[in-house]
A = this chain, B = another copy of it.
Amino acid sequence: MKAEIIAVGTELLMGQIVNTNAQYLARGLADIGVGVYFQTVVGDNASRIKEALRLAKSRVDLIICTGGLGPTQDDLTKDVLAEVLGQSLVIHQPSLDKMKTLFEGRGIPMVESNMRQALMLEHSDPLANDTGLAVGNAVTHEGTHYILLPGPPKEMKPMFDRYARPWIESKMDHVQPLYSLMLKFAGIGESSLEHALIDLIEAQSDPTIAPYAKEGEVAIRLTTRAASADEAAGRLKPLEQEIRSRLGEYIYAAEDISLEQHILQTLASQGKKLAVAESCSGGQLSDMLTSVPGSSDAFVGGIISYSNTAKHKLLKIPMEQLEGDGAPGAISEETAAAMAENVAELTGADYGVSITGVAGPGESEGKPIGLVYVGIARRGEKASVVKLQQSGNRETIKLRASKSSLYHLWKLLKS
């Protein structure tokens, strides 16, 4: 089945908001084996919406419209589709009843225009809106499937997942449920990962293999359709084994969790605590860790030693090590080791992780932008230090340094 997504809304055309709905729908459709061939954005203008619908009808089997289902005179999608298909609009009574109850409950009068949100095409299937007022529509006409969804993502997403997607699947032949397996990687970049799996990716059919990369993490999702979980496992497992035989050392989880979440769970399950000492990453590692709900079970805190003063006063590193002729300096193996060891010692945490380097925009201590040392220490033991040369701008170097430190901590925890 070939699909087109049409987003209706002048606020999208003007750039006031980003069309995140298109991404969400494209992914959801890919999951059920529907390919999206075009995405279009049109304004709240009847003739241009009509043009977009007619064009889409000429080139795809499934047209999904988002937006334009609201109460105002600018919300035209249903009216235009009704005209294009030669149908009337009728009231969807359950939606109207729900709306009346809601307004009564709030004690405010229901403006007449709100009733527009309960309208649906005469010969369509209503799609319930569990998180809003405008009812969705699904209709097949002359072999083309049309779906109308609301624009606000908090209404669009549940309506698509709960009602539109099953409706689409019901129109597809012989559709079995989908089973997926997510493999999460650390310590390997997107291009190296693709390189190692390129034969599998290029030859994929069933299961499908989709690489994902964002914010310093890479993942692979394996997906298949099967009559049962056992049958799915019979196809997913051999492929997973093949990938593990090539890249197993980089796989930290077979579920969709972040590396920081995985590490914090591991630590918490062992009753262990972590502290960090950050220089060039400037708090980003701590911020990542504390973005995980429940992180306080394993994360004690740490020190942002952004200056030599802080490295000396807070982390107790001798000034002679940081400054002066022949000193290793703040950006050195010695200082990374001392930062990791000392932060564990000072806080009593079981593990100390440190990051020191040059995020730019200029060099520091005559050392190049992107040079980063990561230190990992068990409390009371000598730290191991890894020297990295990161590329990219200030933001990228901070992010990669933070993610790298997590990778090296993960390796220690595994060993």
List residues of A (25-49) whose CB comes within 8 Å of B's CBs. 25-30, 36-43, 48
CB nearest to A48 among chain B residues:
B37
A293 and B22: CB pair below 8 A?
A: no
A18 and B23: CB pair below 8 A?
A: yes
CB nearest to A300 among chain B residues:
B307
List residues of A (48-98) whose CB comes within 8 Å of B's CBs. 48, 52, 55
**Other-chain contact of A303, B295, B304, B311 (Cβ < 8 Å):** B304
Q: In whole angstroms, how far apart are the Cα atoms of A42 and B4 in the complex?
A: 10
A310 and B306: CB pair below 8 A?
A: no
> Is A266 interfacial (CB 8 A cutoff)?
no
Q: Which residues of B contact A304 (CB under 8 A)?
A: 276, 283, 286, 290, 301-304
List residues of A (284-321) whose CB comes within 8 Å of B's CBs. 284-287, 289-291, 293-296, 299-307, 309-311, 313-314
A314 and B310: CB pair below 8 A?
A: no
Count of identical protomers in the assembly:
2
Q: Which residues of B contact A105 (CB under 8 A)?
A: none
**Other-chain contact of A296, B22, B23, B307, B313 (Cβ < 8 Å):** B307
A14 and B37: CB pair below 8 A?
A: no
Given contacts A22-B41, A42-B38, contact A282 B287 (CB under 8 A): yes
Given contacts A19-B18, A40-B39, A346-B314, contact A296 B306 (CB under 8 A): yes
Q: In whole angstroms, how far apart are the Cα atoms of A48 and B52 in the complex?
A: 16
A303 and B306: CB pair below 8 A?
A: no
A257 to chain B, nearest CB (A): 16
A14 and B40: CB pair below 8 A?
A: no
Interface 1/0 per residue, A332-374 and B, CB below 8 Å: 0000000000000011100000000001110000000000000
Count residues of chain A with CB under 8 A from any CB of chain B: 70
Q: Which residues of B contact A23 (CB under 8 A)?
A: 12, 15, 17-19
Q: Which residues of B contact A276 (CB under 8 A)?
A: 304
Q: Which residues of B contact A37 (CB under 8 A)?
A: 13, 42-43, 48
Q: In whole angstroms, how far apart are the Cα atoms of A410 and B15 in the complex?
A: 30
A361 and B310: CB pair below 8 A?
A: no
Of A24, A43, A286, A293, most buried by chain B (CB within 10 Å of CB) is A286
> Is A245 interfacial (CB 8 A cutoff)?
no
A310 and B347: CB pair below 8 A?
A: yes
Q: Could you jot down 17 A-B contacts, CB within 8 Å?
A: A12-B22, A12-B39, A16-B27, A19-B23, A22-B41, A39-B39, A282-B286, A283-B285, A283-B302, A286-B287, A290-B306, A295-B306, A296-B306, A296-B307, A299-B307, A300-B310, A303-B304
15 new A-B contacts, CB < 8 A, other than A55-B55, A301-B303, are: A14-B27, A19-B23, A22-B41, A38-B41, A282-B291, A283-B283, A290-B306, A290-B398, A293-B361, A293-B394, A296-B307, A299-B306, A301-B306, A302-B304, A310-B347
List the 4 closest pairs (A to B, CB-CB), nearest first. Answer: A282-B290, A283-B286, A15-B26, A301-B310
